[in-house]
Amino acid sequence: MTSAEEVVAYETDWMQTGSEVEAMRRAVARAGNPLAPPDNWIDTLSPFSEQRLQQDQTASQHVAGAR
């Protein structure tokens, strides 16, 4: 259940940032949850997400290797 304080904090974040996504990200961080999945995380229920995560990791490795 969401408390009134959480709702106020979320709406304040949304107004300050102008971004609902950033407000959600801040709410996740406030709750003490990590903002990124574990390195070995695979979403078996959403193949697109799994594929995108793997592509992002591959791209990051290429960028890191090019430095």
For the stretch 19-42, pLDDT in tens is 999 999 999 999 999 998 888 877
Task: Calculate the CA dihedral of residues 39, 45, 46, 52 and round it to 10 degrees.
Answer: 20
Domain enclosing residue 56, as ranges: 37-67
Q: What is the pTM of this model?
A: 0.56
Which two structure tokens, joined as six digits, stand for 54?
């793997």
Q: How far is residue 35's CA from residue 32's CA, in Å, rounded to a whole number?
A: 9
Tell me: do 31 and 45 sit in the same domain. no
Tell me: do 47 and 31 sit in the same domain. no
Q: Contacts for 35-41 with beta carbons within 8 Å, 24 or more apart? A: none
Neighbours of 43 (CB within 10 A): 13
- Give percent of the chain with pLDDT exceeding 90: 48
